[in-house]
Structure formats: C-alpha cells, structure tokens
Structure 1
Amino acid sequence: MLGISWQIRLVLVLGSLITVAFVLRRVRQARMQIEDSIFWLLFAFFMFILSLVPQVAYWVSNVFRFQSPINVVYLAIIFILFVKQFFMSIQLSQMDSKIRALTQKVALNEEKIEREKDDL
C-alpha cells in the first residue's frame, strides 16, 4: 500500500505554517476580514493535522477504497477549496448587487443636487 511520503508531510506542515503566518500578518495589518481568516486558519489546521496524523488519510482511503491515502489528501483539499470558491462566488454576486444599487442611489442623488442648483 502506498502511503503519504515524508516529503508530502513536510510540504503540508510547511504549507500550513506559512498559511498561518501569512493570515496572521494580514489580520494584524487589518487587510483581511475575520471570517476569511478563520477559514484559512482552519484550512491550515486541517493540513497540519493530516501531516502529523496520516492515519486519518489511511483510514478514509480504506473506507472509501482509494488506491492511495495521498489521493484522500488531494481530494479533501480540492473539495474544501471548491466549497470556498462557491461561497466566494455567492458573496461576490451579493456585493455586485449592492454596488449596483449604491451606484444608482448616488446617481439619483447627484441628479437631485443638480436639479436643486438649477432651481436656485
């Protein structure tokens, strides 16, 4: 049975530590919202746990009959990022609607101000 090599485990540990450092730096600089930082910290924690306790990947690969535990790791990471992308798309659509409504309100207010100037 193929396992999770020490190189992959090292990449997961380094990736999770770099992610945590980057997220914490962005939060301190007030360039990241708390909700987003929580997601990325949990994602880094997930990667860290998978690198320290590879038995989880072995167990899941046995239950779902994956050929290799590393496929479980890749699939889990891809799935998590797809879910994040889906929620970001929803958030982007909502923000787009709000920006459009706000732009229309600003345009109406500017027109109202111009009309009031003309009436004077």
Structure 2
Amino acid sequence: MFDQPIIRICLVLGSLITATYILRRVRLAKVQIEDTIFWLLFSGILLILAIFPGIAYWAAYLLGFQSPINFVYIVIIFLLLAKQFFMSIRLSQLDSKVRILTQRVALNEEKIESEKLDL
C-alpha cells in the first residue's frame, strides 16, 4: 500500500493541506475548537501513516486484515461516521434550542402586544 512514493507524498500533502486549512479557519474564527481538534488529529494520523507506513502493516496484521489499505479505509470510514454521528446529535440539540427560543420570542411578542392593547 505505502510502498509507492507517490501515495506517501499524497498522504503527506493531504494531511498538511488539511491542517493548514483548519488552522486558517480557526484564525478566522470560523470553526469551533472541538471540530478543530478532531480534524487536526485526523490529519496528524494521516501524516503519521505516511511517514511510518509500518504502523498500518502492523495494525492490519494484528487485527487480521488481509491488506493494510483495508485497515486504513475501515479506520477512516469509522472515524468519519463517528464524527457524522456526533454532528447529528449536536444538530438535533441546536434544532431543539432554536425551537424553544422561537416559542419564547413568540410568547414575549404576544405579551408585549397585549400590554400595548391594555394601555
């Protein structure tokens, strides 16, 4: 998998580009710290796998994968699915908060209108 230099170069470039992009977004205050940590760790893992490909071979052998690329794909898919799941939870919580805030604003506006009519 990592025997070809072009794959290793692509992994190194991909991880560096990802880290640079995330750090730039942090500087512009466009990304939250929790998301930043995840993406920086993700790009760090890619960088480590590109620099030390033996880790992927060792982990694949240890877990019984036939090929290191299968191990890498499974790990990446798992991490992205886990991230998506937690983002979905966070989105649901925010949706609930927006609904509650909308109801409160509507009640406050109704209260203000009724007070105006009483005057």
Structure 2 gap ranges (5+): none
In 1, distance between residues paired with 2:71 and 2:52? 13
Instruction: Report how far residue 73 of structure 1 moved.
Output: 1.2
In 1, distance between residues paired with 2:24 and 2:11? 20
State the partner residue of 2:80: 81
Instruction: Report how far residue 65 of structure 1 moved.
Output: 2.3
The one-letter amino acid of 2:23's match is L
Instruction: Report how far residue 118 of structure 1 moved.
Output: 0.8
Q: Higher RCO, 1 or 2 (CA under 8 Å, sep at least 6)? A: 1
State the partner residue of 1:32: 31
> After the TM superposition, which parts of structure 1 deviate over 3 Å for at least 4 consecutive aligned residues?
none
Q: TM-score, normalised by structure 1?
A: 0.93
1:41-95, Cα deviation, whole Å (9 max, x unpaired):
1111011001111111101111122221111111111111011001001100100
Count the aligned residue pairs.
118
In 2, distance between residues paired with 1:27 and 1:6? 32
State the partner residue of 2:108: 109
In 2, distance between residues paired with 1:112 and 1:25? 45
Q: How does 1:8-47 map to 2 (within 5 A)?
A: 8-47=7-46
In 1, distance between residues paired with 2:113 and 2:27? 43
The one-letter amino acid of 2:14's match is G
Percent of aligned pairs with the same residue?
63
Q: TM-score, normalised by structure 2?
A: 0.94
CA RMSD of aligned residues (A): 1.0
1:10-56, Cα deviation, whole Å (9 max, x unpaired):
22111110111111110111111111111111111011001111111
State the partner residue of 2:63: 64
The one-letter amino acid of 1:73's match is V
